[in-house]
Copies of this chain bind each other. A is one copy, B any other.
């Protein structure tokens, strides 16, 4: 910690401190003031490196994508379905690694060189699958948008338990306004295995890709 404070001030050191703060105390704890004390400097010293709070948050996206794109993202000897599965799993891993910063991925297009390389990796997999050139960009967005949306739903609580008001639910059931819930009650009472659900979703999307072939 004291060692970290002593390393020379740099954009990277600032962003890493921001990401660390987000992971440890939540995205709301990432303030210019908190990041500044983390790197051992006054808040105003940060502005020379990151310009503004908004730019700092954009920078967190770069850092996350940087570690999300290991060198193992390579085409050599891996079929396109396994490559897409790898991308899908990577999105979820990233959400678990950075649960509160993850949402920032929805704020900016893929413009950094790491981001573009990642998109290219997906493009190549779709091309290898036989998807016509004209449909590749759309299917890339379809696939990654689903993966990011699923991961965000998990870490942000949309898929969470959710304390349903039992009284209200019984009233709705009695009023017959949720007939499908009644029919599916057996399945809705079971705990969901989110890993297998995601896997099944990805397999469905891979089938979609295979169907989009010429």
* Contacts of A33-75 to chain B: CB distance below 8 A: none
| A161 contacts B by Cβ under 8 Å | yes
Please tell me how many copies of the chain the complex holds. Answer: 2
| Main SS at interface, chain A | helix
Q: Interface digits, A75-100 against B, CB 8 Å rule (1 contact, 0 not)? A: 00000000000000000000000000
* Contacts of A147-196 to chain B: CB distance below 8 A: 148-150, 152-153, 156-165, 168-169, 172, 177-181, 183-184, 186-188, 192
B residues less than 8 Å from A192 (CB atoms): 137
Q: Interface digits, A135-147 against B, CB 8 Å rule (1 contact, 0 not)? A: 0111001100110
Question: Is A183 a contact partner of B127 (Cβ separation < 8 A)?
Answer: yes
Q: Which of A4-12, A14-22, A201-209 contacts B (4 or more CB under 8 A)?
A: A201-209
Distance of A119 Cα from B145 Cα, bound (Å)? 21
* Chain B residue with Cβ nearest A150: B145
**Chain A interface residues toward B at CB < 8 A:** 103, 105-111, 113, 116-117, 119-120, 123-124, 127, 133-134, 136-138, 141-142, 145-146, 148-150, 152-153, 156-165, 168-169, 172, 177-181, 183-184, 186-188, 192, 197, 200-201, 204-205, 207-208, 211-212
The 6 A-B residue pairs whose C-beta atoms are closest, nearest first, are A149-B149, A109-B162, A123-B180, A120-B178, A106-B156, A124-B180
